[in-house]
Structure 1
Amino acid sequence: MSTDQPSRQGKSALPPLVAGAYRKRLGLISVIACFGGLLFGYDTGVINGALRPMSADLGLTPFTEGVATSALVFAAALGALLAGQLSDLWGRRKAIILLSVLFFAGTVFVVTTPNLELLVTGRILIGLAVGGASTVVPVYLGELAPYEIRGSIAGRNELAIVSGQLAAYVLNAIIGTTLGHVEGVWRIMFAICAIPAICLFVGMLRMPESPRWLVEKGRTDDALTVLKTVRTDDRAVAEVADVQNVKKEEEHQHQIGLRAVFANKWLRRILLIAIGLGIAQQLTGINSIMYFGQTVLIESGFDQSAALIANIAPGIIAVIGGIIALKLMDRLDRRKTFIIGLSLTTACHLLIGLSSIILPAGNPVRPYVILFLVVAFVGSMQTFLNVAVWVYLSEVFPLHMRGLGIGISVLMLWITNGFLSLYFLPLVDAVGITGTFFLFAGVGVIALIFVITQVPETRGRTLEELEEDVTTGAIYTISDHAGHSAK
């Protein structure tokens, strides 16, 4: 597929993207920023193996286990909203530095807690940081990346997230099997979170601010200086001019901030679409598997020790899927990626439900079949949905509402995640694996219809071109035309 839509649409003629030392600089920035994604992944994944020893140590009940788990998730919803607005006001870089401090402080609370109250306090601090990272890091990367490779650059954060989750599963398995006899072993599992938090803090002190945010704040010279470190000089000048032109048009038409969102039906529509996409991603049940995969595997027939080790398999396939997704992001349209992903995940849900009926409890094959299907589900999700959704949310909003727009969208995503994490185990207990995954399959069909009928295409256009198309509603006409042409 060609990605030269800007020239086709006659909007922008940026100098071509060429090889150079600036690509290494861009790579370094993405590595440092993605420590936020690594923390996101580790902090959400570590509970998977730490929950049982933590519950025994602190005397938690099933209800307080749910509270300790979901506290992070609901706090992440608030963190996503607050950090999005903070990054609009204060800057993407400073917001990420603040998040690194929250990650570290929350880890200290959790590791040293003598009771549930301080545990929940620490989980809330970490949750605020996780939600903030899920909002600000993709925007930061998306605003620094050239549009030709924006998908693979912004998508690195999702790869970092699943790498963090895999690290949590592997370290949980190693620590749990070698130090399981040590009192408070779960504290060691959580303490590891402090290392990437320190790396993120120190690294971001030396990273630049988003050039697009700088232009928005009237600091054009600073923006050009930053952009020249990650582009050729002529490309940097042309991009800054594009951002300036769009900013002037918005100011002339009074299209600034929250008021502009409510006054413009196309901005309201794109916000609702982004919210719907985030909710659809969560309603696949992916994070229920990532948080409670060990429990699902025990329910399928593995014993506790085997489930802890087998739980590494979904983590491995998630990282492999993330690597494949980065290769696809700049080659395959976002809509097509979503449709493939939802089709595959829904099929996996149906097969998991059917296999749990065909292979009754006690059948020696049952746990391995369900493990294979869970791995297939996670692989499909990671290859075609997770990376693409986060990239989409980071690029689809106009600059003046980008932090607010992704903040609201991710707020709703995390609220959905929170309710699933709170009620997933009771749901499995009430209707079993069969009913749970059939329910996910039904939701998957609805999500597929939503994507096909509502979600517009964003690949292959600069952020400034997308901004104009979203604000005027042209993005829906372009997507419809592209869809008809593909047929």
Structure 2
Amino acid sequence: MALVATLGGLLFGYDTGVINGALIPLSGELGLDALGEGAITSALLFGAAAGALAGGWVSDAVGRRTTIIGLSVLFVAGALVCSLAPGFGVLILGRIILGLAVGGASTVVPVFLAELSPYEVRGSMSGRNELMILVGQLAAVVVNAILGSTLGHVEGVWRVMLAVAALPGLFLFIGMLRVPESPRWLVAKGRHEEARTVLRALRTEERADAELDEVRRIVDQDSARRTESLSEIVGNRWLRRILLVGIAIAVFQQLTGVNSIMYYGQVVLRDSGFTADAALVAAIAPALIGVIGSFIALAMMDRVNRRTTVVTGYALVALCHLLIGGASLVVPVDSPARPYIMLVLIVAFVGSMQTFLNVATWVLLSEIFPLRMRALGMGVSVFCMWIANALLSLWFPSLLAALGLTGSFFSFGAVNVVTALVMWKVLPETRGRTLEGVERGVEDGSIYRTPAPAGRA
């Protein structure tokens, strides 16, 4: 079930990462400047912001499973529109359609996995979606490198790169037809026996019945004080605080600048001293270390506290940014070692990010919100994430042109030093708690005052 659902994550990764290799041939064929390149890249991300916000509401209304099936249709449609686009305008439209699907998947799939998972493995299970995102990004750069090396001389090779995403979209559609609905969503809709059937397929009978009773108690409590609007959440002290924490988790992840490497890695590596063809192949290294880092992150997720992981991650990312900026300043431009030094430091940055932050970010977002605001809280947080991602991606080519590698990465480093301090101050601990235990801690504010229990809460 997790494998099928996380095909949405794989599509998320491929569709955001494919532009890394497609952008240079696409830009040459369409005659784009730096702002045009930013528009093509960020169109998907602005669409993702809308998809993330709408995805939470839609999944609350029609169910997590039904929503993911609808997203699979958008993935296929967007890939086909992009690959067949006659010009800039239609390509932008196709990227927006893909963005709606990517944003919806980024909101719904982690929640779906969290609501299906036993509490003791919820972190590693929910984190598998982030692993699949990185597998998708790795697949994108590998496909780009193969197509660029074999068909780079053929006009329109970027269309083939973009079209490949239709295949996993089709697999997602077929697979989700056989996956059951989230038991917690079923309980929220009063469909208790259906929820019992799903839980008994995933747990022992005794545990399934006990978990169902606990979820029913939480839902019954929520029904008397149900929060359905953003204004009601803002009016509640503790719900407002957890929403702000969720937004901070989401936005700060983007301010690491990791997606500048994922989207513009070929451009950055070319500016570091690689030729265009060598940069296309070298871009595989950061994507590969990202996948390796995610495997390590999954192994840590249920063993190391979330706060420790996140604060450590931002400190390492800030250090890597300062080293990248320093190397670009100190190592001569004409030095044959320069591109390889920069590549090693970029790989260290991406590895730190993917090992300590990416998986933890999505796991935290999927588990910190109470049930009655989970979809909305996730939607608002991920909406803010995508807006930050889109704005950064839109202006990164211009930022790179204005400040160069040195100024750009020193700026990222300063931001991430501040972020590490903020996360140390505000981030609650959720490891070792059931979703219902997290909810009780959020409701009374105790989650900010007490450490996570060693076992069940």
TM-score > 0.5 by shorter chain: yes
Distance 1:266 1:415 in 2: 25
Match of 1:209 among 181, 191, 201: 181
Q: How is 1:319-398 mapped onto 2 (pairs within 5 angstroms)?
A: 319-398=291-370
Deviation per CA, 1:153-195: give whole Å up to 9, x if none: 0000000000000000011000000011222111111111010
**Contact 2:35 2:397 (8 Å CA) reproduced:** no
What TM-score, normalized by structure 1, do the two folds share? 0.91
The alpha-carbon distance between structure 1 residues 481 and 191, as it changes in their structure 2 partners (threshold 3 A), is: closer
Cα RMSD of the aligned pairs, angstroms, is 1.3
The alpha-carbon distance between structure 1 residues 480 and 461, as it changes in their structure 2 partners (threshold 3 A), is: closer
Length, aligned pairs only: 454
Match of 1:59 among 31, 44, 52: 31
For 1:426, give the aligned amino acid: S
The residue that corresponds to 2:247 in the other structure is 275
The residue that corresponds to 1:5 in the other structure is none
Distance 1:478 1:85 in 2: 32
The alpha-carbon distance between structure 1 residues 210 and 434, as it changes in their structure 2 partners (threshold 3 A), is: same
Q: Sequence identity, in percent?
A: 57
Distance 2:263 2:227 in 1: 41
Runs of 4+, deviation exceeding 6 Å = none
For 1:239, give the aligned amino acid: E
Quote how far apart the aligned CAs of 1:437 are.
0.7
For 2:160, give the aligned amino acid: I
The residue that corresponds to 2:397 in the other structure is 425
Match of 1:77 among 43, 46, 49: 49
**Contact 2:20 2:266 (8 Å CA) reproduced:** yes
Deviation per CA, 1:407-459: give whole Å up to 9, x if none: 00000011000111011111111111111111111100111111111010011
Distance 1:108 1:397 in 2: 36
**Contact 1:257 1:400 (8 Å CA) reproduced:** no
Deviation per CA, 1:41-85: give whole Å up to 9, x if none: 000010000111112223333322211111001110110000011
- SS in structure 2 at match of 1:456: coil
Quote how far apart the aligned CAs of 1:339 are.
1.0
**Contact 1:58 1:114 (8 Å CA) reproduced:** no
**Contact 2:433 2:453 (8 Å CA) reproduced:** no
The residue that corresponds to 1:136 in the other structure is 108
Q: How is 1:80-479 mapped onto 2 (pairs within 5 angstroms)?
A: 80-255=52-227, 257-258=229-230, 260-479=232-451
Distance 1:218 1:465 in 2: 21
Distance 1:436 1:303 in 2: 21
- Segments of structure 2 that go 5 or more residues without pairing to the other structure are none
For 1:165, give the aligned amino acid: Q
**Contact 2:245 2:426 (8 Å CA) reproduced:** yes
- Segments of structure 1 that go 5 or more residues without pairing to the other structure are 1-28, 483-487
**Contact 2:20 2:262 (8 Å CA) reproduced:** yes
Tell me which moved more, 313-322 or 176-185: 176-185
**Contact 2:11 2:102 (8 Å CA) reproduced:** yes
**Contact 1:297 1:367 (8 Å CA) reproduced:** yes
**Contact 2:35 2:395 (8 Å CA) reproduced:** no
Deviation per CA, 1:129-151: give whole Å up to 9, x if none: 00111110000001000000001
Quote how far apart the aligned CAs of 1:259 are.
5.3
For 1:307, give the aligned amino acid: A
The residue that corresponds to 1:31 in the other structure is 3
The residue that corresponds to 1:12 in the other structure is none
For 1:428, give the aligned amino acid: L
